[in-house]
Amino acid sequence: SQQGEEDPQALSIQEGENATMNCSYKTSINNLQWYRQNSGRGLVHLILIRSNEREKHSGRLRVTLDTSKKSSSLLITASRAADTASYFCATDDYTGANSKLTFGKGITLSVRP
């Protein structure tokens, strides 16, 4: 079953604009990870945010986590055509050596040049 539910399902923006993607989940988590996937290829890890963190930055990426609302958001600033891809949030209920990611269906981001 899918734990994460991303919103919106598809997003189309102009190059240079910011893109905000949201993710909600249902159960307690240890951390939440965002991934990017270019068409038909593997998943590229973007950022991990732990359950005791509220915000994290990496380059043009900003991720927030609200455990009380069981939600996270990914902001991509100053988007580029190369950011066009599918984006997934994945929750990790890591316990000891057992780490399992549960993914949503993903968000398709199109950045128009």
Partner 1 sequence: ETGVTQSPTHLIKTRGQQVTLRCSSQSGHNTVSWYQQALGQGPQFIFQYYREEENGRGNFPPRFSGLQFPNYSSELNVNALELDDSALYLCASSGSSSGNTIYFGEGSWLTVV
Tell me which residues touch partner 1 (CB under 8 A): 1-2, 4, 30-31, 33, 35, 40-45, 48, 50, 88, 90, 92, 94, 97-106
Q: In terms of CB distance, is 41 or 78 closer to partner 1?
A: 41
- Alpha-helix residue ranges (DSSP H) falling in the chain: none
Complex with partner 1: residue 96 or 113, whichever CB lies closer: 96
Q: How far is the CB of 99 from partner 1 (least distance, A)?
A: 6
Reduced to 3 states (helix: H, G, I; strand: E, B; else coil), residue 86 is strand
The nearest distance, CB 101 to partner 1, in angstroms, is 6
CB of 59 to partner 1, least distance (A): 16
**Long-range contacts of range 61-66, CB-CB < 8 Å, 24 or more positions apart?**
61/34, 63/32, 63/34, 65/32
Q: Measured between alpha carbons, how far is 34 from 87 in angstroms, rounded to an integer? A: 7
